[in-house]
C-alpha cells in the first residue's frame, strides 16, 4: 500500500540522512523505479525531499538526519496527507500510520493534515472511457478543499453555454483518471467534471461543509444516481470470448459476462443510457456480436446498418 510505504520511506530518510533510490528500494523492498517515483512524488508535492546529483549524492530531507516530521510546515503536512489520503482505506495499518503522523505534527497543523487526507477519493472503477491526463485545475481545487474556501467556477456543461458558479468544495474524486468535484451549491449538492471547468478562482470566503461529511459515502450516492441513468437500457448479446474484454472496455461496469453457449460464444449483458447508445457501441464490432434482446436495440442496429449502406454502398 503506497500510504504506509511513503511513511516508511520518510522515516528511512530521517534516520539515514541521505540515501540513493537503490538503497531505499532495498530498505522498503520495492523496485528501484518505484522508489524513485515515490521520492519524486514526495518532492513534487512539496515535502522537503531533494535529490543531490554526483558522486556521493542521493536523496535527503532538508536539514539532514536530524530532521523529523515535526519540522514540516503546514503546507508540507497538507501535501503529504494529500498523497496519503487516497490510500487511507487500505486497512488498519494505513489508518494507524496516518494517526501516528497526525500525533507527530505540531498542534496548529493537526487540523490541516487530516483535512488534506479527506480531500481526494480514488474510485478505480471506470465509466468505460480511456484514462486522461490530470486537469491542471485539480491542484487549485485541492487547496480549496483543504483550506475550506469557496471557489468561483466557470463551468462548461455538456450541450450548453458556460455558467459562472460560486460553490462550496467538499472533495475531489479521481475516477480512473476522470476527476470530479463534489460541492455544495444554493441548489444543493452538485458534481462537476473537472475537465469541463474552464476557469477557477479561490476566494477568501469560508466554505460551508456539512458536519461529519464522509466523501466516500457521498460519492456512493452520486455513483448510484449516475449509474441509474447510464444503465437505463440493457441488452443481451452473444460474443466470442476474445471480444469480452473489448465489451468491458466500452461499457465499463455496465458489462456483465454470463454463461458460455454450446457454440462457444458467451452471453453478455451490456447497458447504456439510451437504445441508440447501446446500438452505436455494438455497431463498431460488426457481425462478431449478435444482439438477442431487446428488439429495440436490434431495430436500431438495422437502422444504423442501412444508414451506413446508404452512405458508403455506392
From first to last of its 314 residues, what are the pLDDT tens digits of the chain? Answer: 455 577 677 777 776 778 888 888 888 888 888 888 888 777 766 667 777 776 667 888 765 434 445 555 555 555 555 555 554 444 555 455 555 555 555 454 445 555 555 555 666 565 555 556 778 888 888 888 878 899 999 998 666 678 899 999 998 888 767 889 999 999 999 999 998 999 999 999 999 988 888 888 888 888 888 777 777 899 999 999 999 999 998 888 789 999 999 999 999 999 988 899 999 999 999 899 999 999 999 999 999 999 988 888 76
HEC string of the chain equals: CHHHHHHHHHHHHHHHCEECHHHHHHHHCCCHHHHHHHHHHHHHCCCCEEEECCCCCEEEECCHHHCCHHHCCHHHHHHHHHHHHHHCCCCHHHHHHHHHHHHHCCHHHCCHHHHHHCCEEEECCCCCCCCCCCCCCHHHHHHHHHHCEEEEEEECCCCCCCEEEEEEEEEEEEECCEEEEEEEECCEEEEEEHHHEEEEEEEEEECCCCCCCCHHHHHHHHHHHHHHHHCCEEEEEEECHHHHHHHHHHHHHHEEEEEECCCCCEEEEEEECCHHHHHHHHHCCHHHCEEEECHHHHHHHHHHHHHHHHHHCC
Q: Up-side HSE of residue 240: CA atoms within 13 Å toward CB?
A: 6
pLDDT in the model for residue 68 = 47
Instruction: Please state whether the predicted TM-score (pTM) of the whole model is above 0.75.
Output: no
Q: Are 232 and 274 a contacting pair, CB within 8 Å?
A: yes
What span, in angstroms and rounded, lies between the C-alpha atoms of 128 and 270?
A: 12
DSSP strand pairing (163-175 vs 120-123)? parallel
- Residue 296's pLDDT is 95
- Domains belonging to the chain, first-starting first, are 2-117 (1.10.10), 122-215 (2.30.30), 231-312 (3.30.70.250)
Query: Order of strands, edge to edge, in the sheet holding 18-19?
Result: 18-19, 58-61, 49-52
User: Own/partner pairs for 186-191, CB < 8 Å, 24+ apart?
Assistant: 189/218, 191/222, 191/226
Distance CA 85, CA 244 (A): 34
Using a 10 angstrom Cβ sphere, with 0-12 exposed, 13-18 middle and 19 or more buried, the burial of residue 312 is exposed
Amino acid at each position: 500500500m503506497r500510504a504506509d510505504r511513503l511513511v516508511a520511506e520518510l522515516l528511512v530518510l530521517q534516520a539515514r540522512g541521505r540515501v540513493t533510490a537503490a538503497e531505499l528500494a532495498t530498505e522498503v523492498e520495492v523496485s528501484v523505479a518505484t522508489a524513485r517515483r515515490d521520492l519524486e512524488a514526495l518532492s513534487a508535492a512539496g515535502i522537503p525531499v531533494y535529490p543531490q546529483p554526483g558522486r556521493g549524492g542521493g536523496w535527503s530531507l532538508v536539514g539532514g538526519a536530524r530532521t523529523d516530521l515535526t519540522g514540516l510546515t503546514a503546507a508540507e503536512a497538507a501535501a503529504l496527507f494529500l498523497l496519503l489520503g487516497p490510500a487511507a482505506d487500505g486497512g488498519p495499518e494505513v489508518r494507524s500510520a496516518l494517526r501516528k503522523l497526525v500525533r507527530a505534527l505540531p498542534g496548529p497543523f493537526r487540523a490541516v493534515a487530516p483535512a488534506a487526507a479527506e480531500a481526494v477519493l480514488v474510485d478505480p472503477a471506470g465509466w468505460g472511457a480511456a484514462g486522461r491526463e490530470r486537469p491542471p485545475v485539480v491542484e487549485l481545487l485541492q487547496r480549496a478543499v483543504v483550506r475550506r474556501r469557496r471557489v468561483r467556477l466557470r463551468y462548461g456543461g455538456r450541450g450548453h453555454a458556460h455558467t459562472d458558479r460560486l460553490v462550496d468544495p467538499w472533495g475531489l474524486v479521481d475516477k480512473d483518471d476522470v476527476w470530479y468535484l463534489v460541492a455544495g451549491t444554493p441548489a444543493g449538492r452538485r458534481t462537476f467534471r473537472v475537465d469541463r471547468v474552464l476557469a477557477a478562482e479561490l476566494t477568501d470566503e469560508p466554505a460551508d461543509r456539512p458536519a461529519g461529511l464522509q466523501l466516500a459515502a457521498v460519492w456512493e450516492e452520486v455513483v448510484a444516481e449516475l449509474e441509474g441513468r447510464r444503465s437505463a437500457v440493457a441488452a443481451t448479446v452473444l460474443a466470442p470470448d476474445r471480444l469480452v474484454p473489448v465489451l468491458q472496455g466500452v461499457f465499463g461496469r455496465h458489462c456483465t459476462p454470463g454463461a458460455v453457449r454450446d457454440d462457444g460464444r458467451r452471453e453478455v449483458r451490456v447497458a447504456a443510457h439510451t437504445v441508440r447508445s447501446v446500438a452505436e457501441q455494438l455497431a463498431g464490432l460488426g457481425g462478431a456480436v449478435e444482439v438477442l434482446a431487446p428488439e429495440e436495440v436490434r431495430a436500431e442496429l438495422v437502422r444504423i446498418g442501412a444508414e451506413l449502406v446508404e452512405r458508403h454502398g455506392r
